[in-house]
Structure 1
């Protein structure tokens, strides 16, 4: 990713906008009345903890998950909120409830279908390539079926007006497919052959959402894998040049960039097919790297950028024998100074900073009126 040189006024504008967080009344003047979220553990708001038999290294059903904001675990893989929560708040919508929550919660303004461990591809696709997945995998096609079932039960044949006034966040699909593949010692050259299939799967989901009546769809890219504590622990390299100035593994970031470039190109093509539909690429990678770049000004500790706040020890405070939430594992006392929360997921504060960039970038593209200079935010 190319570096940029911002003029002083733009630099301070960026910092101000990164620090800004507001409600819909101040931030937007558009009619988005509901939000639907699909995805994996980055977006899960409590679905996986409601699946019988789901075994989790990161135990999001117990403390210290949720300690910063909710003061209790909610099934979110963070010490507090996730990007979906910040997007909902920016639209003056309530936090989304998990689809599998049958306790009488409201789904009147949207639903969260994301499930930790979810892949973009069906289990059969990965099995054919000897890539294992969790037995409770709820891949993208299944989540789409959940969405259709929910719509059928709530609005039946009259769902198009609902979807016209909704935002669909498709989720950062592909991350689990790639993690499982790398962890099972697949060569990068082979994993690269999966990318076109994963991109096609995402595009097929976009087309299906459009056919249902969706007019605003946010499609995020993946995070920089090489900056996550789990990747750094699982794939150490003895060559100092394998790491960048922040301590991230260059090769895994290059792979994530490859996926994101291909996804963005594909979304530009499908936008030409549907010129009246707003399909927006969510640059989660760029937003993540931006908070690394400006970490000291944003309150993050530069010496712990790639270390997990909650983990079982080791160089990056992460190991695979004792995940966050295990009895012997404790969290750092200052999670707001950390980006990595549990090795694969981020802190409430990191998600807040990333969300501010994504929100201010996407809203004008969805016909909303954003705060600040979004061209500065999108120029990294």
Structure 2
């Protein structure tokens, strides 16, 4: 069996059309809403948000992020993403009228005028004290390290602006696009962390779902500590995204398949990994409420990705998702969930006596929730961003209370 490319640019055009048409389902009346905007977007997390830091630090370990078919629905842009197209943070940044959120470690053609991405594939929320180089899907750049990068970034910006003032000109000091000197306090800070702490230990089976419940407090504590540092840094608008129902991901459904029907919910998802997500999200929401109480001069947006995921499972066709593709991977091979840990997306090999090439996308990635068995498709990211920016599944009530800029979502 050989997977074939779904029509090159025709696939991109189909993706563009599906988003443009489906947007009508989510878009509220715009007349009374202001345009979504912020000075810049700064993001933190793991491979669900990373757009180049992982491969910048360990090119061999994270080479898949820039290997076909990753990024094929994001034409004219370097991929460096574990996705067929844009990530959730890409859509949020575009929706705020900004450019893509460039990786802070990207050394070529980066534009930091409207923020930077500090997320790293394989990064945990907790401090990583047991990391071994190029071992599994992991990195040493945990959330606390990413916030330290942010703090250092501010120091360098201040040095640059001081030099500009001394020289009375921006030329000859640095040839790079950087944010305005007064933009850091009026930017949006996007934190989507914790997935790496739970999912990959369960995936590598070094931790059971029951054991994963024991680390929830530590994971949430690490996220909250990072948010407090970001607040102390000067952030006054912080968006915290919770975890998806991990029991609905094709990789875990494949690895933890069980004949006991009582271990699955009404959507076919595994209960035990979902309990981990629920436990994490419940505690995180409570801690975000505490942050709101303690820091009344800032806005903490709690973005409920879990409930978005469940809504899409409940009514997939409303969101452009095929009913038969809710629990299967788009880029994958074999089994009930189109996932095989021995042949991951972007790779090729002999399976069941035939050559399988996963360097080509499935014929219609827009009909899937999941891209590679682990990460969501651009379609799912688009659905989620649309709902968040339109004030659904996000608190405080109404979310950003603005009309998203969709002009760059489809090209």
Which bin holds the TM-score, normalised by the shorter protein?
A: 0.7 to 0.9
Shift of 1:66: 1.2
Does 2:236 match 1:215? yes
> In the alignment, is the contact (CA less than 8 A) between 1:25 and 1:92 conserved in 2?
no
Q: Cα 1:305–1:243, aligned 2, differ >3 Å: closer, same or farther?
A: same
The residue correspondences of 1:176-325 to structure 2 (distance < 5 A) are 176-182=196-202, 183-325=204-346
Does 2:130 match 1:139? no
SS, match of residue 390 in structure 2: helix
Shift of 1:114: 1.0
Q: Cα 1:344–1:18, aligned 2, differ >3 Å: closer, same or farther?
A: farther
> In the alignment, is the contact (CA less than 8 A) between 1:64 and 1:73 conserved in 2?
no
> In the alignment, is the contact (CA less than 8 A) between 1:31 and 1:165 conserved in 2?
no
Shift of 1:213: 0.5
Which residue is equivalent to 1:148?
151
In structure 2, C-alpha distance between the alignment counterparts of 1:134 and 1:300, rounded to whole Å = 28
Q: Cα 1:186–1:276, aligned 2, differ >3 Å: closer, same or farther?
A: same
Which residue is equivalent to 1:120?
125
Q: Which runs of 5+ in 2 are unaligned?
A: 1-21, 163-179, 349-356, 405-411
Q: Which of residues 62, 68, 80 in structure 1 aligns to 2:73?
A: 68
In structure 1, C-alpha distance between the alignment counterparts of 2:48 and 2:32, rounded to whole Å = 27
Q: What is the aligned residue count?
A: 350
In structure 2, C-alpha distance between the alignment counterparts of 1:72 and 1:319, rounded to whole Å = 29
The residue correspondences of 1:54-133 to structure 2 (distance < 5 A) are 54-56=60-62, 59-70=64-75, 74-124=79-129
Which residue is equivalent to 2:14?
none
Does 2:390 match 1:360? yes
How much is the aligned-residue C-alpha RMSD, in angstroms?
Answer: 2.8
Q: TM-score, normalised by structure 1?
A: 0.84
Q: Cα 1:320–1:255, aligned 2, differ >3 Å: closer, same or farther?
A: same
Shift of 1:91: 0.8
Does 2:385 match 1:370? no
> In the alignment, is the contact (CA less than 8 A) between 1:226 and 1:251 conserved in 2?
yes
> Which of 144-153 and 68-77 deviates more?
68-77
> In the alignment, is the contact (CA less than 8 A) between 1:18 and 1:357 conserved in 2?
no
In structure 1, C-alpha distance between the alignment counterparts of 2:260 and 2:76, rounded to whole Å = 42
In structure 1, C-alpha distance between the alignment counterparts of 2:318 and 2:279, rounded to whole Å = 29
Q: Which runs of 5+ in 1 are unaligned?
A: 1-14, 373-380
Larger Rg: 2
Q: Cα 1:305–1:368, aligned 2, differ >3 Å: closer, same or farther?
A: closer
In structure 2, C-alpha distance between the alignment counterparts of 1:258 and 1:122, rounded to whole Å = 20
In structure 2, C-alpha distance between the alignment counterparts of 1:206 and 1:367, rounded to whole Å = 18
In structure 2, C-alpha distance between the alignment counterparts of 1:161 and 1:213, rounded to whole Å = 11
Shift of 1:339: 0.7
Q: Cα 1:30–1:315, aligned 2, differ >3 Å: closer, same or farther?
A: closer
Shift of 1:46: 1.6
Q: Deviations over 1:107-126 (max 9, x none)?
A: 111001111111011122x6
